[in-house]
Amino acid sequence: MTPNPANPTPNRKSRLLFAALLVVGLVMLVARTASRPDVGFGEMLVPALGGLAVAGAIALIVRQDRRDRAALPATQRNRQDHGTPN
């Protein structure tokens, strides 16, 4: 059975939502920095690159967590996480 492109799968929807939230956060950071009258382009570039690096790190962490969770057996996949074991 092939997926219907008009009806994206929940995984695809969550990926799109996740990417949209990261992009919106980065745009908000740049807009806030650009709205200050005493900030030049060079001073705006550093927070934007930092925000991009943080967004990339968050994306890598989430992808790794999803990959690890998908590798679990079905009985353990949906159980509540109790943190780091001792």
Can you give the pLDDT at residue 1? 45
Q: Is residue 7 part of a domain?
A: no
Q: Is residue 33 part of a domain?
A: yes
Q: In total, how many domains does the chain have?
A: 1
Distance, CA of 57 to CA of 64 (rounded, Å): 11
Q: pLDDT digit string (tens) for 6-52?
A: 555 567 787 788 888 888 888 888 888 778 888 777 777 887 788 88
Q: Is residue 74 part of a domain?
A: yes
Can you give the pLDDT at residue 3? 52
Q: Find the domain containing 28 and state its range.
A: 12-81
Q: Is residue 86 part of a domain?
A: no
Q: pLDDT digit string (tens) for 55-72?
A: 888 888 888 888 888 888
Contact 39, 33 (CB under 8 A): yes
